[in-house]
Amino acid sequence: MQIQKNQKTGHWIWLREDLFPQLQNTFCCHASQKEGFSYGMAEFQKKLALKKPGVQAEIRVSGDTFFRLWLNDEFVGKGPVCGGGDFLPTEQLTRYYVNRYQVPIKRQELSFFAQVQLSPVVLTDYSRGHGGFMLSCVVTYADGTCEEFHTDESWLGRVNYRYTKPYQFDNRLGSSAWEPAVLTEDIWQAEDAPIPMLEEQEIAPFENGEISVAPHSKERYIVPFSKIYSGYVKLSILSSGSCSIRVRCCEVENGAATEEEILTDTSLEYRSFQFHSIGLYELTVENNSAETVKIIPSLIFSCYPVETEGSFQCSDQELEKVYEVCKWTLRICRQTLHLDSPRHQEPLACTGDYYIESLMTAFCFGDMRLAALDVQRTADLLVQQKGRLFHTSYSLIWVQMLYDVYRYTGDQKLLASCKEALTVLLERFQGYLGDNGVLEHAPDYMFVDWMVVEGYSLHHPPKALGQTCLNAFYHGALKTAQKICLVLGDTVTAECYEKRAERLKEACEKLFFDQERGLYFDGLTTPSETNEWLPENIEIKHFSKHSNILAVLYGLCEGGRAVSMMEQVVQDSTLTDCQPYFMHFYLEALKKAGLFSKYGMSLLGKWKEVVRNCDKGLQEGWYLPEEGYSFDYSHAWGGTPAYQLPCALLGFQMEEAGFRKISLHPQLFGLSSAKIAMPTPYGMITCKMEKGKQPELSVPSEIPYFLRQE
């Protein structure tokens, strides 16, 4: 086979097939339970003597499935940036990414060492189906000249047998001999990732910073950390004989856990290859030697870098704490894609979560590059999957996320690059319409909320419990698509979407609105198709907050009736209530109906109880959604207070995309004081308010603004 060098990325290399035939091919997505799963850890090294003193190495590196890189014995980074993915089978994602690093050179040589994991382990892992590693390096010398190096057949490769399987490390084993690496076909065609690389920090526990285990004994320790962190197990182990260590990574004591097992008969500096959500370790150490074993536990905290940070202080300390916990949870969910939580590590499939996280980001950190990349990766997937995502309603929420990321960035190119995906998606939904004018033939009606109603999960409800919500999301998507097309100058398609929205609104009014109660019910009781994610329909006319909230928010009803409906939503205790995720839409609908000042702050107070329960990270729900489920405490989908509080108190509105014009209406909503800082591309918007005094407001000079009178 003749290997062509990709001028964009350099050569890809791998292990010799004649020596390691079982460590060549793999599955494209999470496959640890599939027959034929092959797991292994390849290692590559290269030493280069520089001809003259170097100043900086600019490194571009990627690997399949997951890599870690060191240069001159110092850790550089890990990757690659995730490709995306969905819960539906996806054999080939559109894009593979290259990480970029700039590293100072401290000596007159380059000594590279890389570890590359073969095969996906968690849901976010993605592979092209074959092991591979690629690196290019441009060295800048002290005299200003440059030289470029690439991975090639002069690199050496081997297998580290200590990594016996995911989450298990046996230090008693060894490695194969170093052999020349071989070139492999560039099936990745990787491109530079448009986001900064993740940052890392070692975190020590606040108790049990050093553990001693007597000879021939077995002990269990709780090693707590001050917060829930996203990252990797790190253990400094001093041992002169046989020892086994089991690490249960928990968010809270007695909570759900992920585990690692380490076996060793010598001292060891251990850093895990697997990613966890860690609030504490449950550490079980069995010392089978005649000498005391000592362990110093810590963790490597990993997250998307924070360059600027918003803040919120107020006279209600518990509400202030709610904001901080939500913001922290957002931070640990921001990796190379937004995660639903670092415990689940789901692929780019939960758009509802990421949409809320993107709005939180606008007020907490200001850097929208990750949200923009999530939008683009999802667009690629929508085109590839012909408009189909696993969560049907989430694919419609993507339209809103696309537009709102545009609003906060002003990036019209993002809208243009996603136009094909928008078209494909909405044409698919047009095909789901029945003769009655509403969505009747959707593959399912998920996702509504994380709860059980009438014995059915609203994750994937029957039509009678989810149809109205899906139609409301569709109406919102059509109206938002109309705005996108107008921005792009496509007035013909904008008019088409407007007419579709009008027809859908009329049909929803006719079929779902109950005149007697003045509310929308949740769906028709007529028969529907069934599948794994769509139960047989049920004979019940059911009313919930959810359908009416979305009807108001996405314009199925407007004006005085919308106000009346939201009053009922708040006051009618017979209506099925909402979990924290759906509270985002609840609060947004109150704003649209002009009722936030009346009800918003009391609803935001619901978060106080879950923060009292755990302030190390955000609890996933008010109550368990189904029997046997274990909450995580790192789920940013419920973190909307980190957006709602600063946005509402500032009275912030984006009048022209990209901060070309904004309006503000600062108000306290019953608090006696508040202080807010909101990051923007031009600096901080700050506002200090005290009851009975005029707000002290500061807006960067580059941002035109006006104060609204409401």
3: confidence class by pLDDT, cuts 50, 70, 90: very low
Strands of 661-664's sheet in order across: 653-656, 661-664, 705-707
pLDDT tens-digit series, residues 41-58? 999 999 999 989 999 999
Distance CA 510, CA 504 (A): 10
Distance CA 8, CA 20 (A): 28
pLDDT tens-digit series, residues 176-200? 999 999 999 999 999 999 999 999 9
pLDDT tens-digit series, residues 131-162? 999 999 999 999 999 999 999 999 999 999 99
Distance CA 575, CA 4 (A): 63
pTM of the model: 0.96
Residues forming a β-bridge with 201: 301
36: confidence class by pLDDT, cuts 50, 70, 90: low
pLDDT of residue 35: 65
Work out the mean pLDDT of the chain and round it to a whole number: 95
Please tell me whether residue 386 adopts helix, strand or coil conformation. Answer: coil
Strands (E), 392-545: 452-453, 456-457, 513-514, 519-520
Of 147, 129, 125, the closest CA to residue 138 belongs to 147
4: confidence class by pLDDT, cuts 50, 70, 90: very low
pLDDT tens-digit series, residues 213-234? 999 999 999 999 999 999 999 9
Mean pLDDT of the 360-375 span:
98
Contact 46, 165 (CB under 8 A): no
Is the pLDDT at 9 greater than 60? The verdict is no
Mean pLDDT of the 490-513 span:
98
Element (DSSP H or E) covering residue 687: strand 683-690
Distance CA 346, CA 113 (A): 29
Distance CA 437, CA 507 (A): 6
Q: Which domains does the chain have, with CATH numbers?
A: 12-193 (2.60.120.260), 200-303 (2.60.120.260), 431-604 (1.50.10.10)
Distances 213 to 286, 289, 595, 639 between C-alpha atoms, Å: 8, 10, 60, 41
Is the pLDDT at 91 greater than 50? The verdict is yes
Distance CA 146, CA 57 (A): 10
Distance CA 603, CA 70 (A): 49
- What secondary structure letter does DSSP report for 6? B
Say what percent of the chain tops pLDDT 70.
97
pLDDT tens-digit series, residues 585-637? 999 999 999 999 999 999 999 999 999 999 999 999 999 888 888 889 999 99
- Give the torsion sign (CA, 162, 163, 164, 170): positive
Strands of 156-159's sheet in order across: 74-79, 66-71, 109-118, 40-49, 156-159, 179-180
Say what percent of the chain tops pLDDT 90.
93
